[in-house]
Amino acid sequence: MPMNSTVAIADSHEIIREGIATRLCKHCNVEVVAETSDGYTTLKACRQHKPEILLMDLSLSRPSGAEILGKLRASNPEMKIVVLSSNPSSSNAFLALSSGAVGFMPKQAPGSDFVNAVRAAQNDYAYFPTDLLTHFVQSRRNLTRTGNIYGLSARELEILDACVSGQSTKEVASNLSISVRTVETHRNSIYKKTSCRSYKDLAQIVTMD
């Protein structure tokens, strides 16, 4: 096992960061070089300290978790990222995988799981809970030709495609002959189903063929 791997922990809650750091320092050969609470400080810390492993909450903001993953993969492709989520859904797992993460796990997982995830990353292995992998594989089997793994309705796919292509809410409503309020309702549903915060995030993970 590699010795003294450098680790950064990104989570908006200090008590969670401290708990993870304490557990890892006790049971893994690691040095925690940074603890961050939002997207900006996470990107800054990774540029400064260049940790070998990053444990990052997907719900970080400023910028969003999806955007952070994209930026980090571009700037430091060798860094191993383990994504944490309070909503360990297959769509969030898909987001993590498609963004190059080597691990994905619930934030509610026992401390031993965090240790196992870091040990796996140290040894160049991926780490995903078995039950989540099973659900993810089943979801993949039901993909439509549009790549829709999120369970979006046909109308939601139409609206997503239009908005990602640059149309305004009013333009989408006019082109689809529906009200602006209806477009906004579908848009909020899309955000909820995909756990994304912007169409820029969605454009990175949804293939609209």
Per the CB < 8 A criterion, the answer to whether 189 and 55 are in contact is no
pLDDT of residue 145: 42
Architecture of the CATH domain 5-140: 3-Layer(aba) Sandwich (3.40)
For the domain spanning 154-205, the CATH number is: 1.10.10.10
132-164: pLDDT as tens digits: 777 666 655 554 444 566 777 778 878 887 877
Residues of the chain with CATH 3.40.50.2300: 5-140
Residue-by-residue pLDDT tens, the chain, 209 positions: 445 899 999 999 999 999 999 999 999 999 999 999 999 999 999 999 999 999 999 988 888 888 888 889 888 889 999 999 988 877 788 778 778 899 999 999 999 999 999 999 999 999 987 777 776 666 555 544 445 667 777 788 788 878 777 888 899 898 888 999 999 998 888 888 777 777 667 666 554 43
Predicted structure pTM score: 0.68
Domain with CATH 1.10.10.10 in the chain: 154-205
Q: Which residue has the tokens 């708990």?
A: 19
84 vs 169: CA distance, rounded Å:
33
How many angstroms separate the most distant Cα atoms in the chain? 61
- Whole-angstrom Cα distance, residue 98 to residue 189? 22
* Per-residue confidence (pLDDT) for residue 6, from 0 to 100: 97
pLDDT digits (tens, 9 = 90+) for 75-92: 888 999 999 998 887 778
Rounded-to-integer distance, Cα 54 and Cα 80, Å: 6
